[in-house]
A and B are shown apart, each in its own frame.
Chain A
């Protein structure tokens, strides 16, 4: 892994631990005991991570740029997925799912319209049969339609 990255992570962990510790201020002593112990352990390990990474002689590290080279792609995908989840609240599950499948395939350049349609239809059908019909899970209908 990358030295600088490890050191950075260690520091983030310590800061995060400090934040969590402050959150335990409100708790009754008994409830706070275990979390505080864990938080302190977390912080110590974070410090150890930073220190051992600093001392690490064999810098077999990958360039940070290489590690995160394609993260942009992943985050774009994540954005589409999150938009899909939010959309369910508005237009309901099945419409949102169909839009998602179509949008996804377009963004990632799936050329065959036939494949897009088959996937959308089969998937929606399968989920309807299994979850709504068989398992009686009420999938969201969306604000716009209620």
Chain B
């Protein structure tokens, strides 16, 4: 990155539109994140149609700012209400709420804010310095490599699924099948379109995502809508800004957790929820007083929050470099990129360098702004959780509808959204995760296209062809490792249990 680009970036970033986008993204993200029942994925999916008419930089800065801010916002209700506002804050609720019970809730918020800010800034810096050189790799990527990395992404999703591996795999394969709907590019034959011309270019991604994440969540909320609300937040007393001593205490934790979050984010498919748990567990393991975790120790808040915000920058790396989403939210962000006509890969850093660097630097500012606003306003933002679902749900529904319609001016897409809403709801009810579906819808066509083109390039013997390409060999080893690792981990756990018994 040279000085010319820096100058361009400053020019483009400090326009009214971009600044408004940044502020709206950060504040909106915090509000949405703090509302239990609304996740970052949902918020980003809902706002993508809005970025239609915005300039690429303003739109993307808003979306990425929303992402990191929502991940932070989840900690507010996790700490004060023992209800994570987003899945990434589940680990924060453990020590966070304990601290609230001890009257130190605002302290915990302060820790969370600073940790999130540092985690986010560090990962955005990593994005800034790692992505451009890594994007050179994408030049070496051809059909075989894309096929294998798509497969790798899919194996990660499967192995990280919650309930059971089989259900995770089923979600993934289901997504792959959905991705098959549409006209087969290589032969021109319509597959699974049932005669609907609207399906010929496949299921619209953004409406399907809005349905899977937003509408399904609305349906889950509707189940509880008749229950009366407890936990009305009154005024909270206390200081938010951590003391210098506390800050020194959490520094090592924050740094380590940020690195953890960065790497988890870079893994295709692994997102903030995984990052926060790994960060928490590692901090506990490395701590001199692990027994304090869970009873209200500030490291227990600092670690997951630094990690989950560090995931944001990390997850953008594979997205920008290869078009492979590093998390569910980045999968949705890919839709946002494509709407602006930006194709992931080396081009982002050459032809579109100004845009890309503006977005990345915008993300750094977003994290800093998030930290400042969080420290100033967190105790007010939590009052948002008092808003009744009776008002929130219709608002979300209307937005979901408009958003789904606006992509292609198509009511058909609205029906797609509704159908996927039902699918997402039923999946969650029966123990399946909807997130692998989205990742599979994106990675599936990538994998199939890569495979079929590789077969043409290999002129017959595919295996022999793949072995001759060094990157392919590395990817194949990674795939094998990611498939075997859950089995090995399970085996080791079993052995431990038997040794103890």
Interface residues of A (CB under 8 A from B): 1, 5-6, 9, 13, 20, 23-24, 27-28, 30-31, 33-35, 38-39, 41-42, 45-46, 48-49, 52, 67-68, 70-71, 73-74, 76-78, 81-82, 84-85, 88-89, 93, 97, 100-101, 104-105, 108, 110, 115, 119, 123, 127, 130-131, 134-140
Q: Is A85 in contact with B415, judged by CB distance below 8 angstroms?
A: yes
Starting from the known contacts A5-B430, A127-B402, A138-B409, 20 additional A-B residue pairs (CB-CB under 8 Å) come to: A1-B163, A20-B192, A27-B191, A28-B187, A33-B452, A42-B174, A42-B177, A48-B166, A52-B164, A73-B222, A76-B222, A81-B215, A81-B418, A88-B401, A89-B411, A100-B398, A104-B397, A110-B390, A123-B394, A131-B406
Q: Which residues of A contact B398 (CB under 8 A)?
A: 97, 100-101, 123, 127
Q: Is A42 in contact with B394, judged by CB distance below 8 angstroms?
A: no
- B393 touches which one: A24, A93, A104 (CB < 8 A)? A104
With CB as the reference atom, state the residue of chain B lying closest to A110.
B390
What's the least CB distance linking B454 to chain A, in Å? 13
Asked if A140 meets B411 with Cβ closer than 8 Å, knowing A74-B425, A127-B402, the reply is yes
Q: Is A130 in contact with B50, judged by CB distance below 8 angstroms?
A: yes
Asked if A28 meets B395 with Cβ closer than 8 Å, knowing A71-B429, A77-B218, the reply is no
Q: Is A31 in contact with B395, judged by CB distance below 8 angstroms?
A: no
Interface string of B211-241 (1 = CB under 8 A from A): 0000100111011111000000000000000
Interface string of B161-192 (1 = CB under 8 A from A): 00110110110011011001000101101011
CA distance A108 to B421 in the complex (A): 20
Q: Is B394 in contact with A104, judged by CB distance below 8 angstroms?
A: yes
Q: Which residues of A contact B219 (CB under 8 A)?
A: 74, 77-78
CA distance A130 to B173 in the complex (A): 38
- B225 touches which one: A6, A9, A67, A73 (CB < 8 A)? A73
Q: Does B391 contact A (CB under 8 A)?
A: yes
CB<8 Å pairs between A and B, sample of 15: A27-B189, A31-B186, A31-B191, A34-B451, A35-B192, A49-B167, A49-B170, A67-B429, A73-B225, A76-B222, A101-B394, A108-B225, A119-B395, A123-B395, A136-B53
Q: Is A119 in contact with B177, judged by CB distance below 8 angstroms?
A: no
- B53 touches which one: A41, A49, A82, A135 (CB < 8 A)? A135
Q: Does B448 contact A (CB under 8 A)?
A: yes
Interface residues of B (CB under 8 A from A): 49-50, 52-53, 163-164, 166-167, 169-170, 173-174, 176-177, 180, 184, 186-187, 189, 191-192, 215, 218-220, 222-226, 388, 390-391, 393-395, 397-398, 401-402, 405-406, 409, 411, 414-415, 418, 421-422, 425, 429-431, 448, 451-452
CA distance A49 to B225 in the complex (A): 33
- A73 touches which one: B53, B176, B223, B429 (CB < 8 A)? B223
CA distance A134 to B402 in the complex (A): 14
Q: Which residues of B contact A20 (CB under 8 A)?
A: 177, 192
Q: Is A115 in contact with B429, judged by CB distance below 8 angstroms?
A: no
Q: Is the interface of B mostly helix, strand, loop or mixed?
A: helix
What's the least CB distance linking A107 to chain B, in Å? 10
Q: Is B226 in contact with A78, judged by CB distance below 8 angstroms?
A: no
Q: Is B411 in contact with A85, judged by CB distance below 8 angstroms?
A: yes
With CB as the reference atom, state the residue of chain A lying closest to B414.
A85
Q: Is B166 in contact with A52, judged by CB distance below 8 angstroms?
A: yes
Q: Is A38 in contact with B180, judged by CB distance below 8 angstroms?
A: yes
Q: Is A30 in contact with B225, judged by CB distance below 8 angstroms?
A: no
What's the least CB distance linking B35 to chain A, in Å? 16
With CB as the reference atom, state the residue of chain A lying closest to B174.
A42
CA distance A138 to B408 in the complex (A): 11
CA distance A104 to B425 in the complex (A): 20
Asked if A45 meets B170 with Cβ closer than 8 Å, knowing A85-B411, A135-B406, A137-B406, the reply is yes
Q: Is A31 in contact with B192, judged by CB distance below 8 angstroms?
A: no
CA distance A23 to B195 in the complex (A): 12
What's the least CB distance linking B177 to chain A, in Å? 6
Q: Which residues of B contact A135 (CB under 8 A)?
A: 50, 52-53, 406
With CB as the reference atom, state the residue of chain B lying closest to A127.
B402
What's the least CB distance linking B17 to chain A, in Å? 11
Asked if A85 meets B418 with Cβ closer than 8 Å, knowing A28-B187, A31-B187, A135-B52, the reply is yes
Q: Which residues of B contact A105 (CB under 8 A)?
A: 390, 394
What's the least CB distance linking A123 to chain B, in Å? 6
CA distance A119 to B346 in the complex (A): 46
Q: Which residues of A contact B50 (CB under 8 A)?
A: 130-131, 135
Interface-central residue, A34, A110, A140, by most chain B CB under 10 Å: A34
Q: Which residues of A contact B177 (CB under 8 A)?
A: 20, 35, 38-39, 42
Q: Which residues of A contact B402 (CB under 8 A)?
A: 93, 127, 131, 137, 139
Q: Is B170 in contact with A42, judged by CB distance below 8 angstroms?
A: yes
